[in-house]
Amino acid sequence: MDLSRRSDALGATRCAVIGTGHIGRFHAQKYAGLAEAALVAVADLNPEAAARVAAECGCHAETDYRKLLGNVDAVSIAVPTTRHFEVARAFLEAGVHALIEKPITSTVDEARILNSIAADKGVVLQVGHLERFNAALVEVSGRELVPLFIESHRLAPFRPRATDVDVVLDLMIHDIDIVLDLVRSPISSIVASGARVLSGTIDIANARIEFENGSVCNLTASRVSAKTERKMRIFADEAYIVVDFHNRGLRVHRLGTREAFPGIPEITNDERRFDQHDALRDQIAAFVDAVRNGSGVKVCGSQGQQALEAALQIAELVRRSALRLGRATRS
């Protein structure tokens, strides 16, 4: 199949998805639905998986991603985290724009190298921190806000996938990225703990992060819970905000201009629900727009690197805590 001729005929950016698992399949569907993108191929080591998604989305299937080098302009990389660096490096060095699923890489050094290559080649490097495109958070991010204290709970039932990384890199990293973007101050200290429950890696973790500007954040992530909950509570000067990522809801409580009682100001409540919203489509559309028009990306490679660095610090503290707990239990 002549991939370049097909894309030219469509007048769209030639795109491909590397990795056709649970997330990669959704990436392929979104590209296939964008007028500005031409999904020309998907690639996966499993030929049946690649063929299945290719047939579903009307594109070419490959088992070797390297065969796409020179035939695509942009890719989504949705392979296991341990392969992010290898695959992304090949495409970036070939001048191909890349959207990498979170976390950006397995190590900070790998992330640093990818960011350097992207800068040298002048290509877009976006990291797939999907919650940044959640409509409720987008509304919060557009406000003038200086968080004093942030509390986040990201809880999910156990599923036997994505266990190649612990819960910090699997789930908590979403909230780490959001908090870093909201607070925008260097981290001064981290305290964290957690435990293995059902998998071979950490399944539940808690971290307290203090920032140089005085802001404090308390994050809890679990993939062994009985319910699904993704909420962030933000306490700021004269405001209390609740972001419900799971239900795309937002509640804002503020001090009003009138008095509820003598000397006591009223508290105003504003509650909104954002329905019919496709965050993944918005993420991929923003990536394609950045490739075509040079618009900035919501989560660039350097932000992905910062989130990874904090996540790895937390993961190491959690690992040490779990080891201490294991020794205490055996003694």
Element (H, E) at 4: helix 3-10
pLDDT for the residue numbered 161: 63
What's the whole-model pTM score?
A: 0.90
Condensed to tens digits (0 to 9), the pLDDT of residues 145-200 reads 889 999 999 999 988 765 667 899 999 999 999 999 999 999 999 999 999 888 88
Which residue type is seen at 85?
A: F
pLDDT for the residue numbered 309: 98
Which residue type is seen at 67?
A: K
pLDDT for the residue numbered 35: 95
pLDDT for the residue numbered 325: 64
CATH of domain 3-131+282-300: 3.40.50.720
pLDDT for the residue numbered 5: 39
The structural domains of the chain, with segments of one domain joined by +, span 3-131+282-300, 132-276+310-326
Condensed to tens digits (0 to 9), the pLDDT of residues 306-319 reads 999 999 999 999 98
Q: Apex CA 190: angle with CA 111 and CA 326, to 5°?
A: 95
Query: What average pLDDT score do residues 200-215 get?
Result: 94
Mean per-residue pLDDT over the chain, rounded: 91
Please tell me the class of the 132-276+310-326 domain.
Answer: alpha beta
- Residue with the bigger pLDDT between 260 and 281: it is 281
Distances (CA, A) of 193 to 184, 201, 207, 209: 24, 13, 7, 12
Residue 10 has pLDDT above 60, yes or no: no
Query: What average pLDDT score do residues 224-252 get?
Result: 93
Same fold, 3-131+282-300 and 132-276+310-326: no
Query: What average pLDDT score do residues 254-276 get?
Result: 77
Q: Apex CA 284: angle with CA 27 and CA 117, to 5°?
A: 100
Residue 330 has pLDDT above 70, yes or no: no
Residue 283 has pLDDT above 90, yes or no: yes
pLDDT for the residue numbered 11: 78
- Residue with the bigger pLDDT between 205 and 261: it is 205
Condensed to tens digits (0 to 9), the pLDDT of residues 84-122 reads 999 999 999 999 999 999 999 999 999 999 999 999 999
